[in-house]
Amino acid sequence: MRLQIIDPNEGYACGTCSKCCQQPYSIVIEQDKAAALAGADFSGYPQLQGKEFYYASPDAPEGIFVVPKQTGTTKCLFLDSDGLCIIHKELGPEAKPKPCLRFPYHDSPTFVDHRVSVNFGCPSVLRDMGPRLVGQQEDIAATSRISQAAPNHDAFVALNAETGLPHADFDRLANSLEHFFLPGRNTSVWEAFAASLNLVQETVRKRVADDSDLSHWLKSEKARQDAESGVSIEPFGVASAAPSAVRLRFAATLLRDAVPKEVTLNMSLWRRLMTLPKLMPLAKLTGEYYSKVQQRTIDIDQVVAHSLPAGIDAGATELLKRCFRARIWQRFLIGTRLSVTAGLHQHIHDLNAILFLSRADACHLGEPRLTKDIVAENLSRFEFNFANQIRLFRHNSLGWFTDQLNDMGLARSSLRLFALPAASGHRPAPVDANLVAGVNASPTSVQI
């Protein structure tokens, strides 16, 4: 049976901020729970009188309904004035929709196990508040979706479109990629990704050369040191000078921010294709568009021209690295949903999307740097509205998006898109032995 593996580096405790109940995305509820709402006595809540508690949507799967918002807001209909959930108060936590019960636990099935970390949309997660997840096994087991498929230790994992490697070697590679994003290292998030691309490229070279030393090399400190050696990221003089494929891939990552307000659930392939023209201002990095997540019109030219002379806060850098470390630990995109190269490339565009939204806020506020607060807010927005939604690359009919993601040269160009000059020239600081031990130690697992 699959093991449930819990991230030993992250923690969580609910701060009752209700931010998860006030997002623009749709809250979906299962048919049996929707029926229970219809039969419940909510007479003590005037705000619910005469309201429909759920409705069918053509964008929702069969047997799944949508919970309405409070009129004119993004608040869930069942969010009470005290910031608590009316369903929870009246019917108990088990009556809540599954997505609400599961949040902010973040699930990722791999070839061999089922990994649980956190969703960085949650303010408590962003502030690293609360006990470690390893002490929350009972709650996690009650809400987590566990894959029933048998572990596949013989899986062959794609490195790119042409080659791959056995799962045991992939696991060694992924552990090293995670190493680059460890906290407390004097490296930027761009340098962490650049080192990751270097290591993957050298792994591909050794694999193609049929190097018998590959497994031993992947475990070595030398492999990581060589990947970090001489890392330097030179931003484009102007972001619009980036290759068109890079800019289109960036725009596709922010697709949901540019579609009409009423589009909130998973779109059909046809509807996705119909919305592609709305991506053109983002793909050209000029003009303006209405941002659903920032709820205002963004002048792209002003955002790109905002030079950020003070760079990015160290705290913001550590937060971004922490998020991507968790995703790499989960194998969330690398090696399972996508090849390792394509997964890293998509993570880079996720970073670009977070940075673009952060730059838009900094420009709006007249802020000369990307502060931790600004980056945290936009990381939260990205996690809620983009990271866990269906991406364009998930459609076989749009396979050319995935082909672009597998291009190592484009991945390196993508890394330069919104890099800041201050990102270059840092040297890796010695890593605390306890931090390394925390990453390499066996995480908590339970038999499911």
Task: Let me know if residue 149 belongs to a domain.
Answer: no
By C-alpha distance, which of 332, 328, 442 is closest to 108? 332
Domain closes at, from 143, 170, 190: 143
222 and 117 share one domain:
no
Average pLDDT score over the chain:
87
What confidence score (pLDDT) does residue 272 get? 60
Please state the rounded mean pLDDT for residues 118-147.
Answer: 90
Dist CA 298 CA 357 (whole Å): 9
SS3 call for 301? helix
Helix (H) or strand (E) holding 195: helix 189-208
Query: Domain for residue 440, yes or no?
Result: yes
Phi, psi of 265 (to 5 degrees): -105, -175
Q: How many CB atoms lie within 10 A of CB 379?
A: 28
Question: Has residue 283 been placed in a domain?
Answer: yes
Say yes or no: 247 and 200 in one domain. Answer: yes
Please determine, for residue 271, whether its predicted confidence score (pLDDT) is greater than 70: no
Residue 62 pLDDT > 80, yes or no? yes
Look at residues 398, 404, 396, 354 and name the one whose alpha carbon lies nearest to residue 379: 354
Q: Are residues 196 and 111 in the same domain?
A: no
- Is the pLDDT score of 422 beyond 70? no
H or E element: which one contains 63?
A: none
CA distance linking residue 418 with residue 441, whole number of Å: 34
Count, residues in the chain:
448
* 26 and 166 together in one domain: no
Q: Are residues 92 and 186 in the same domain?
A: no
Q: H or E stretch including 395?
A: none
Per-residue model confidence as pLDDT tens digits over 64-73: 999 999 998 9
Q: Which amino acid makes up residue 204?
A: V
* Mean local confidence (pLDDT), 259-283: 66
Residue 242 · residue 411 · CB < 8 Å: no
Q: At 181, which amino acid appears? A: F
Identify whether residues 137 and 201 lie together within a single domain: no
- Kindly state whether residue 59 falls inside one of the protein's structural domains: yes
Query: Are both 248 and 357 inside the same structural domain?
Result: yes
Q: Pairing mode, if any, of strands 113-118 and 3-6?
A: parallel
Same domain, 429 and 388: yes
Q: How far apart are CA 20 and CA 28, in angstroms?
A: 13
Range of the domain at 419: 154-448
- Structure tokens given for 390: 């269906």
Among 118, 143, 168, residue at a domain's last position:
143
Query: Do residues 310 and 396 share a domain?
Result: yes
pLDDT digits (tens, 9 = 90+) for 387-409: 876 666 554 445 566 788 999 99
For position 448, what pLDDT does the model report?
29
**176: exposed, middle or buried (C-beta count within 10 Å: 0-12, 13-18, 19+)?**
buried
Q: Is 58 among the domain residues?
A: yes
Mean pLDDT of 222-249: 92
Stretch 159-176: mean pLDDT: 96
Report which secondary-structure segment, H or E, holds 109: strand 105-109
Query: Is the CB of residue 6 less than 8 Å from the CB of residue 143?
Result: no
- The mean pLDDT of 72-84, rounded to a whole number, is 94
Task: HSE, CB side, 13 Å, CA atoms: give it for residue 293.
Answer: 23
Whether 235 contacts 419, CB under 8 Å: yes
pLDDT in tens, 102-113: 999 999 999 999
Proportion of the chain above pLDDT 70, given as a percent: 87
At residue 432 the predicted structure's pLDDT band, cuts being 50, 70 and 90, is very low
Note whether residue 148 is domain-resident: no
Domain annotation covers residue 238: yes
Mean pLDDT along residues 332-337: 90
Structural domain ending residue among the three candidates 143, 178, 196: 143
Are 250 and 348 part of one and the same domain? Answer: yes
Strand partners, 388: none
Query: Is residue 380 domain-resident?
Result: yes
pLDDT (tens digit, 9 = 90+) per residue, 337-384? Answer: 899 999 999 999 999 999 999 999 999 999 999 999 999 999 999 998
Which tens digit of pLDDT belongs to each residue from 21-54? 998 778 899 999 999 999 999 999 999 999 999 9
Taking only the tens place, the pLDDT of each residue in 337-350 is 899 999 999 999 99
Chain centre to alpha carbon of residue 268: 22
**pLDDT on residue 161:** 92
Task: Name the pLDDT band for 146 (thresholds 50, 70, 90).
Answer: confident
Q: Within this chain, do residues 241 and 319 fall inside the same structural domain, yes or no?
A: yes
Total tally of structural domains belonging to the chain: 2
Whether residue 78 is found in the same domain as residue 194: no
